[in-house]
Structure 1
Amino acid sequence: MTLASTDSATISRRVLVDACQVLGLDCAGAEPIRIAENAIWRLPGQLVARISRPGGTPTARRELAVANWLADHGIPAVRPAPGVDQPTTVDGRAVTIWEELPPHRDGTVNEVAHLLKALHSLPEPDFALEPLEPFSKIRTRLNQAAVVDDADLGWLHSYTDRLEAAWLRLVEAPTLSRCVLHGDAWVGNVAAAEDGISYLLDLDSFTTGPREWDLTSTAVKLTSTGGITSSDYEEFCSIYGADVTAWPGYETLRDIRELRMTAYACRIATEHPGHPHALREVQYRIECLMGRQGVRPWRWTAVP
């Protein structure tokens, strides 16, 4: 469980109990796997429950549709539990039930590359996926960022406006690629099982847009945060067949990704104001974006 307040865990457990009663599932002995953006619980019978934040039912429906579509196309991913009528909504929170994956570890950049190459080759599904729009969640998180002082927050809002203008110019290009995107394709959203199969996780960000968006998630680990080596990144590019850092629009996507990571840290620090690491990391990331911490790569550390 990561930085979960007692209140968050208590709320999600209550929602879990109510949902399992509706679905006729046993939740005795349920164990929290992660309480973060979504709450993830392990249930008896090799099942996993995923509980959204309030208002997450439309996203949960799309996530289930995506999972079934991926199964139809042979892409390994988390699978909805068969025979369960879902999603179930309790107090505005969507609850979905999934098959538990076999024992696994986080993916590698190579495994991410293989999955993205397969995903990006698929035709668009026959259900609606909204076009990629990176800024609404950023603005929501900044609007709620109570731990950021007014001057820095004003700069972040202005920076967001500038990046959105650059983004709109970029996506107007008639030659820009378009395909189905994972939307948040990094090693933490890939699970590599002991049998050698790698699975896509967290399907709630699926969208359509330029394939470069998914590739940038790995590239920033090299160019922005130094989280992978040059040889790791070269192998990622070799497997996928492209190097997004050589694309003229990369700096715009890189900057948007960095801002999203900073806005996410703002949300965590706001929800857990007594956590010193989150507060320090937020300020450090803001100073990096402002150009006060030298050139990339920076030394960003995880904010769970």
Structure 2
Amino acid sequence: MTTSAAAPARHALEQACAAVGLHSGGAEPVRLAENQIWRLPGQQVIVRIARAGQAAAAQREVRVAHWLAENNVPAVRLIDVPQPVEADGRPITFWEELPPHEHGTVADVAQLLRQLHSLPAPELDLGYLDPFVRIGERLQAAKTLNEDDRAWLHSLHQDLVAEWAERPAGRPDCAVHGDAWPGNLVRIIGGGRLLMDLERFSLGPPEWDLVSTAVRTKTTGAVTEDEYDTFCEAYGYDVTEWAGYQILAGARELRMVTYAAQHAASNPEWAAQAQYRVDCLRGRQGPRPWKWKGIM
């Protein structure tokens, strides 16, 4: 992102920091995207600036972070200030800076999910899981796909929504992370693992968290069969044996395809990969697993 694009967020950062008694001088951008991440040097604080209109999501994320801390689930922690703070119409939250770390493994994901899913459903307003959130908007934005492929994806979307509504019984609902994969978990150098990216927490079937790793094995081959066996052993369950697996796997695949297609609309380098993913779903590239590249 350009410096000019970051300027409005820096103004919001300065306002929010002043509101909670933190110094914003020398703030360093860590990631400048729709949601921006900034570091406050010398204060061990990370500032997350969400998109305008995401106040409810930020409030839910704060509630989830407190609940995870109260239940001793290893996760990123908020600092002790009133939050979220709104500045320039954007909700802003403040987090403890992580010590040196690296990405976790699928086994790490399984262990943390097992701990998370074992907790009683929280008395929090998390909302119920929607596996298809933003799918319609993504399809509208998928301008690189032809009309036939977009119509086919719309039909697949409708079919999966109907199947989701009539899915077979599974494990009891609980708090689910919503996007559980090694990219949203870190392993602290010296010991310990932490969940990150709490914004997609909701109440729902734990199978949704497990399907992510299964799809990365069975659909894209990003996770090896041996790694998947280790994942299942660590969690104590293989979601692919559940009668509803194909429904949730289909929803996850559709999310991955439409995300790439939306991305391709503003980044031409992604057009070929988006089309390839559609071709895979439509049976033009042989059976799974397919070698999808880049954004998952």
Task: Note whether the superposition's TM-score is higher than 0.5.
Answer: yes
Pairs within 5 Å for 1:139-154:
139-154=136-151
Q: Partners of 2:54 and 2:104 in 1: how far apart?
A: 26
Is 2:227 the partner of 1:232?
yes
Structure 1 residue runs of 4 or more that deviate by more than 6 Å after TM superposition: none
Q: Partners of 1:278 and 1:5 in 2: how far apart?
A: 21
Q: 1:175 to 1:252 in 2, by over 3 A?
A: closer
Q: Deviations over 1:39-63 (max 9, x none)?
A: 1111221111111122111111111
Aligned to 2:214: 219
Query: Deviation at 1:281?
Result: 1.8
Q: Partners of 1:35 and 1:230 in 2: how far apart?
A: 35
Query: Deviation at 1:92?
Result: 2.6
Q: SS at 1:226's partner residue?
A: coil
Is 2:114 the partner of 1:117?
yes
Q: 2:36 aligns with which of 35, 39, 56?
A: 39
Say whether the 8 Å CA contact 1:78–1:201 is kept in structure 2: yes
Q: Partners of 2:91 and 2:148 in 1: how far apart?
A: 37
Is 2:90 the partner of 1:93?
yes
Aligned to 1:294: 286
Aligned to 1:81: 79
Q: Partners of 1:217 and 1:53 in 2: how far apart?
A: 25
Q: Partners of 1:151 and 1:57 in 2: how far apart?
A: 37
Q: 1:175 to 1:149 in 2, by over 3 A?
A: closer
Q: Deviations over 1:188-218 (max 9, x none)?
A: 0101101221000001111111111100011
CA RMSD of aligned residues (A): 1.9
Q: 1:199 aligns with which of 194, 197, 203?
A: 194
Give the stretch that moved more between structures: 9-18 or 71-80: 9-18
Aligned to 2:24: 27
Q: 1:264 to 1:251 in 2, by over 3 A?
A: same
Query: Deviation at 1:38?
Result: 2.0
Q: Deviations over 1:213-257 (max 9, x none)?
A: 100011111001111111111011001000111111111111110
Say whether the 8 Å CA contact 1:287–1:293 is kept in structure 2: yes
Query: Deviation at 1:178?
Result: 1.2
TM-score (normalizing by structure 1)? 0.91
Query: Deviation at 1:176?
Result: 4.7
Pairs within 5 Å for 1:142-291:
142-170=139-167, 173-174=168-169, 176-270=171-265, 273=266, 275-291=267-283
Q: Partners of 1:282 and 1:11 in 2: how far apart?
A: 32
Q: SS at 2:26's partner residue?
A: coil
Q: Partners of 1:17 and 1:148 in 2: how far apart?
A: 41
Code of the residue aligned with 2:273 in structure 1: it is: E
Q: Partners of 2:131 and 2:2 in 1: how far apart?
A: 28
Code of the residue aligned with 1:222 in structure 2: it is: T
Q: Partners of 2:171 and 2:4 in 1: how far apart?
A: 45
Say whether the 8 Å CA contact 2:216–2:223 is kept in structure 1: yes
Q: Partners of 1:263 and 1:6 in 2: how far apart?
A: 29
Query: Deviation at 1:175?
Result: 5.2
Say whether the 8 Å CA contact 1:278–1:303 is kept in structure 2: no
Say whether the 8 Å CA contact 1:81–1:98 is kept in structure 2: yes
Q: Partners of 1:303 and 1:7 in 2: how far apart?
A: 26
Percent of paired sites with the same residue: 48
Q: Partners of 2:143 and 2:276 in 1: how far apart?
A: 16
Q: 1:157 to 1:118 in 2, by over 3 A?
A: same
Q: Where in structure 1 are there 5+ consecutive unaligned residues? A: none
Q: Partners of 1:17 and 1:209 in 2: how far apart?
A: 37
Q: Partners of 1:257 and 1:145 in 2: how far apart?
A: 17
TM-score (normalizing by structure 2)? 0.93
Pairs within 5 Å for 1:2-21:
4=1, 8-21=5-18
